[in-house]
């Protein structure tokens, strides 16, 4: 049997870290316990017959999620105590419950503030998008007006060019007729 005592530091108390360790221990069939220390650290004792399983467990408990941030893990080999399961050792249950509720309330307040901030930024983005659409509509209207004006101008110009060309052809025909004697 292999056994390790792991002292984990970072943001690991009042964040669901012990429950995460408990779940990992159950997934890997690791025995032992996890408990909070007065220093703000968490102590884990892990036992398993297979050293590779313990190493996998140690790697997984160092991982980070949104609330938990492991900044250090002091690992020392210890004599096995032949634990038969894995448990969370808790201090006074009422104190822990109240602390968890305080943390949960603060976390929900942080989430609420973040949502409000994102909502405000989204409103700003929608306002800018509306401005862009308005400018786009103005540009399209201007392009349509220019297109109409250009069409009218080209019709007039083409008509004048054709009339001038026809007049030139008539003059040349008249000159040719005069030369031919018709």
In sequence order, which residues have a C-beta less than 8 Å from that of residue 111 and are 6 or more positions away? Answer: none
108's tokens = 């929900």
- What separation in angstroms does the CA of 96 have from each of 12, 108, 131? 14, 18, 52
Which two three-digit tokens encode residue 37?
Answer: 């220390």
* DSSP three-state, residue 31: strand
Instruction: Say how far residue 92 (Cα) sits from the centre of its chain.
Output: 39
Full DSSP string of 80-95 = ----SSEEEE-S-HHH
Q: Are 15 and 100 in contact (CB under 8 A)?
A: no
**Cα 113 from Cα 66, distance rounded (Å):** 16
State how far the alpha carbon of 152 is from the alpha carbons of 9, 140, 161, in Å.
79, 18, 14
What's the Cα-to-Cα distance from 164 to each of 58, 96, 167, rounded to whole Å?
94, 99, 5
Catalytic positions: 18, 36
């Amino acid at each position: 049997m292999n056994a390790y005592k792991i002292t984990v530091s970072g943001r690991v108390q009042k964040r669901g870290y012990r429950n995460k360790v408990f779940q990992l221990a159950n997934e890997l069939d690791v025995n032992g316990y996890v408990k909070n220390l007065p220093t703000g650290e968490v102590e884990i004792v892990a036992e398993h017959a297979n050293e590779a399983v313990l190493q996998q467990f140690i790697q997984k408990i160092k991982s980070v999620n949104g609330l938990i941030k492991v900044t250090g893990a002091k690992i020392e080999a210890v004599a096995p105590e032949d634990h038969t399961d894995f448990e969370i050792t808790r201090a006074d249950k009422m104190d822990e419950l109240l602390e968890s509720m305080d943390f949960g309330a603060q976390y929900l307040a942080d989430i609420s503030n973040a949502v409000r901030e994102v909502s405000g930024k989204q409103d700003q983005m929608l306002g800018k998008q509306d401005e862009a659409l308005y400018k786009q509509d103005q540009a399209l209207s201007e392009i349509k007006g220019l297109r109409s004006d250009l069409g009218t101008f080209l019709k007039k110009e083409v008509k004048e060019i054709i009339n001038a060309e026809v007049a030139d052809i008539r003059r040349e025909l008249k000159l040719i007729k005069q030369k031919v004697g018709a």
